[in-house]
């Protein structure tokens, strides 16, 4: 019997390699995109970060989408209220006081004969501006103080902790009644300043705890061993990894600050007429709740929807930025 022709080992290995390569090249990519590409090479994927994962989760969260749409609408009508309300919120007619809805006036009139719809739309500007400015001030001041105290520690950290304990002991509404009762300016800035004054300890304590946790990680110790300065370590390595809880708390607190401004205006120590605010309208409509309930319903409903939208947004952001919940 004739023997088969001799084939060197290299030829056999080469044939097996070519067969494997052809099989791999002909294999279709997997349905989930994890298999080889059509050309037989693995796609170079970018490393996923906490922020990219959070944004992917937020886009799939209906609570975030609904709250974001409401907030975008509120911001638009705060900047350009004339888009949906053509009247003047300060123009009133006592002959139409407490009248119900009519053509061109879907919300009716309040006790002074002012159009409730126009005042509700223009009142969003005050609430949103106070909430956003107060949140920015609170987040900036509290984050800086808390980050410095948590990073350096020592006597400064102890003093800041005792100061925050003192501010936590002050009732917010009572403090507003005392401090804002001596202010004569009828603008939003005294209210914003008061909220920042009593709101920064909460953000400061959150930022302090996040910085203390982040500075114990190995990458911070490695950066310190390589000779990085304290400012570089704090700004480049610790702050990006400690800002997530601050964002979550600030987003939820924004709705609380809007409700606080309306509460102070309702009590008469916040904004005062002729300013347009939901708290002022709720206070003015309270005596007419039986004769003209619509004058109380619409501004209070707008306030409730706004606060709920920001709280829902904060909850969605918290769920997305907390890896333990995934």
Please provide the DSSP assignment of 42-107 as one string. ---PPPP-HHHHHHHHHHT-HHHHHHHHHHHHHHHHHH-GGGT--S-TT-B-GGGTT---BTTBTT
Residue 15 confidence (pLDDT):
46
Tokens 């009593």 — which residue?
198
Residue 259 confidence (pLDDT):
94
Q: Would you kindly state where each structural domain of the chain is located, as residue ranges?
A: 51-325
Tokens of 291: 């004769």
Which residues neighbour 306 within 8 Å (Cβ) at sequence distance 6 or greater? Answer: 70, 74, 124, 127, 128, 255, 258
Tokens of 308: 């709920």
Distance CA 322, CA 326 (A): 8
Residue 207 confidence (pLDDT):
93
Distance CA 157, CA 305 (A): 39
Start-end of H helices in 268-293: 278-285
pLDDT in single tens digits along all 326 residues of the chain:
444 454 444 444 444 344 444 443 444 444 444 444 444 444 455 666 767 888 888 888 899 999 999 999 999 999 999 999 988 899 998 888 888 888 888 999 998 899 999 999 999 999 999 999 999 999 999 999 999 999 998 898 999 999 999 999 989 899 999 999 888 888 899 999 999 999 999 999 999 999 999 888 888 889 888 888 888 888 888 888 888 889 989 998 999 999 999 999 999 898 988 889 999 999 999 988 888 899 999 999 999 999 999 999 988 888 888 766 55
What does the DSSP 8-state code read for residue 28?
P
Which residues neighbour 142 within 8 Å (Cβ) at sequence distance 6 or greater? Answer: 199, 200, 201, 202, 203, 204, 206, 207, 246
Torsion of CA 171, 174, 177, 183, to 10 degrees: -30
Q: Is the peptide bond before 307 cis (omega within 30 degrees of 0)?
A: no
H or E element at residue 205: helix 188-214
- Go through 273-292 and write b for each residue having 16 or more CB atoms within 10 A of its CB, e for each that does not: eebbbbbbbbbbbeebeeeb
Residue 43 confidence (pLDDT):
46
Domain 51-325: CATH superfamily is MetI-like (1.10.3720.10)
Residue 267 confidence (pLDDT):
92
Question: Coil, strand or helix: which one is 105?
Answer: strand
């Amino acid at each position: 019997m004739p023997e088969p022709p001799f084939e060197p080992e290299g030829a056999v290995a080469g044939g097996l390699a070519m067969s494997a390569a052809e099989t791999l090249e002909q294999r279709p990519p997997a349905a989930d995109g994890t298999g080889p590409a059509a050309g037989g090479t693995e796609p170079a994927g970018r490393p996923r970060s906490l922020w990219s994962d959070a944004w992917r989760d937020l886009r799939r969260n209906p609570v975030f989408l609904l709250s974001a749409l409401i907030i975008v609408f509120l911001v638009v009508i705060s900047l350009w209220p004339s888009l949906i309300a053509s009247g003047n919120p300060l123009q009133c007619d006592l002959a139409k006081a407490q009248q119900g809805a009519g053509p061109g006036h879907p919300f009716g009139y309040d006790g002074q004969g002012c159009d409730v719809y126009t005042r509700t739309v223009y009142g969003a500007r005050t609430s949103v501006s106070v909430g956003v400015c107060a949140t920015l001030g609170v987040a900036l001041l509290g984050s800086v103080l808390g980050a410095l105290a948590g990073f350096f520690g020592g006597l400064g950290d102890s003093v800041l902790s005792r100061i925050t304990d003192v501010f936590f002991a002050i009732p917010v509404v009572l403090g507003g009644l005392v401090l804002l009762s001596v202010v004569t300016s009828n603008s939003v800035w005294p209210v914003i300043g008061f909220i920042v004054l009593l709101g920064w300890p909460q953000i400061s304590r959150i930022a302090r705890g996040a910085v203390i946790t982040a500075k114990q990680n190995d990458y911070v110790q490695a950066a310190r061993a390589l000779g990085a300065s304290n400012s570089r370590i704090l700004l480049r390595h610790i702050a990006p990894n400690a800002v997530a809880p601050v964002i979550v708390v600030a987003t939820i607190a924004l709705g609380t600050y809007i409700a606080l401004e309306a509460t102070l205006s309702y009590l008469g120590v916040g904004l005062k007429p002729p300013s347009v605010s939901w708290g002022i309208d709720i206070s003015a409509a309270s005596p007419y709740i039986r004769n003209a309930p619509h004058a109380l319903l619409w501004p209070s409903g707008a306030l409730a929807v706004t606060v709920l939208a920001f709280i829902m947004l904060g909850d969605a952001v918290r769920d997305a930025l907390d890896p333990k919940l995934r």
